[in-house]
Amino acid sequence: MAEQPRNGKVTVVGAGFYGSTTALRLAEYDVFETVVLTDIVEGKPEGLALDINQSRPIEGFETRVVGVGGGSYEGTEGSDVVVVTAGLPRKPGMSRMDLIETNAGIVRQVAENIAQTSPDAVVIVVSNPLDEMTALAQLATGFPKNRVMGQAGMLDTARFSNNVAEELGVPVSSVRTLTLGSHGDTMVPVPSRCTVDGKPLADVLAADRIEHLVDRTRNGGAEVVALLKTGSAYYAPSAAAARMARAVIEDSGAVMPVCAWVDGEYGISGVYLGVEAEIGREGVRRVVEGDLSESELAGLREAAEAVRAKQADVADL
């Protein structure tokens, strides 16, 4: 068999559970030439990179992982994609917004470094509060808005699909769901676009059960945090971020729910918001408008106004 071609470099900033798991997933895809894992802690990313590289003979991938500690960006230069996981995770009882001031300082510094070392990169932000940190990263890098996006909808949609599959006792592969809006209290699950084996969700689940699953999806991150007690989710979030990075490097044109700049779609302009978007080598190729019910569209516009006010604040953080 011909060897699979690999190309490009992806940097993951932050070597915590989220960042290291993302780096592992990206390496195991075996589509990148290099994965760089960087962190302010000396030795940690180097050790994790060595560990991942030693798994290559077992898992059968050739992508090389490089660790860079001490806050250095040496070795990240010219990255095609940068995934920003840096920042503090939530603790039980904390909302994502409780992290805004602390993580804003971290994300701004990271974004400025990215702009200097990888000026042509596509940036995928996963630091919380997600919508606000995505807006801040775009401001701090000065990159075109299509080259900065946030990971939220992929994760929230996956949680919604898993919740539906568990409720009905069906394979997750038979479930199609969608969430838009913000990564937080104004998340907008879209039941009208959800199906199970091709049948509308409303035909297989009672309205009160759908609403229960919507609420569980909206609070999915907090549910994990409350159970873990010492951190936040990283397996599902890292899977979402890695899929986005892969869509970029492969120029796939995959349509994914992401936090993207909205400029007229759904009658909304001038805000980063969770919408479906076509992803390729230049980041967001275009926002994809889908059919929404009146209540879902109203919820999306309400989410836009809620995050707009917060995003305006981050320019000063």
Q: How many residues does the chain have?
A: 317
Distance CA 217, CA 167 (A): 13
Q: What are the structural domains, with CATH classification, of the chain? A: 9-150 (3.40.50.720), 154-313 (3.90.110.10)
Distance CA 54, CA 48 (A): 10
Distance CA 231, CA 264 (A): 37
Q: How confident is the model at residue 96 (pLDDT cuts 50, 70, 90)?
A: low
Spot the catalytic one: 44, 108, 147, 183.
183
C-alpha distances out from residue 242 to 17, 88, 184, 209, 304, Å: 14, 20, 21, 31, 26
pLDDT in tens, 134-173: 999 999 999 999 999 999 999 999 999 999 999 999 999 9
Q: What pLDDT is recorded for position 97?
A: 60
Q: Which of 247, 266, 237 is nearest to 22 (CA)?
A: 237
Q: What pLDDT is recorded for position 315?
A: 73
Peptide bond between residue 129 and the one before it cis (omega within 30 degrees of 0): yes
CB 51 within 8 A of CB 122: no
pLDDT in tens, 35-87: 999 999 999 999 999 999 999 999 999 999 999 999 999 999 999 999 999 88
Per-residue pLDDT, averaged over 122-141, amounts to 94
Six-digit token string for 186: 């104004």
**Cα–chain center distance at 251:** 17
10 Å Cβ neighbour count for 225? 20
The secondary structure element, H or E, covering residue 195 is strand 195-196
Distance CA 303, CA 152 (A): 14
Q: What is the DSSP string of 39-95?
A: -SSSSHHHHHHHHHHTTHHHHT---EEEEE-TT--TT-TT-SEEEE--SPPP-TT--
Distance CA 275, CA 272 (A): 9
pLDDT in tens, 2-32: 567 899 999 999 999 999 999 999 999 999 9
Sign of CA dihedral 67, 73, 77, 78: positive
- 280 beta partners: 283
DSSP label at residue 264: S
* Contacts for 244 with CB less than 8 Å, ≥ 6 apart: 124, 149, 151, 154, 256, 258, 279
Tell whether the model's pLDDT for residue 1 goes beyond 50. no
Lowest mean pLDDT among 62-76, 114-128, 176-190: 176-190
Per-residue pLDDT, averaged over 116-125, amounts to 98
Tell whether the model's pLDDT for residue 132 goes beyond 50. yes
pLDDT in tens, 256-269: 999 999 999 999 99
Q: What pLDDT is recorded for position 2?
A: 54
Q: What pLDDT is recorded for position 35?
A: 98
Q: What pLDDT is recorded for position 19?
A: 97
CB 147 within 8 A of CB 283: yes
Q: What is the pTM of this model?
A: 0.95
* Contacts for 218 with CB less than 8 Å, ≥ 6 apart: 185, 187, 189
Q: How confident is the model at residue 92 (pLDDT cuts 50, 70, 90)?
A: confident
Tell whether the model's pLDDT for residue 95 goes beyond 70. no
Per-residue pLDDT, averaged over 229-233, amounts to 89
Q: How confident is the model at residue 231 (pLDDT cuts 50, 70, 90)?
A: confident
Q: Which of 81, 87, 89, 71 is nearest to 12 (CA)?
A: 81
> Which residues fall in the annotated binding site for substrate?
90, 96, 128, 159
For residue 212, indicate whether it is catalytic: no
CB 71 within 8 A of CB 103: no
Percentage of the chain exceeding pLDDT 90: 85
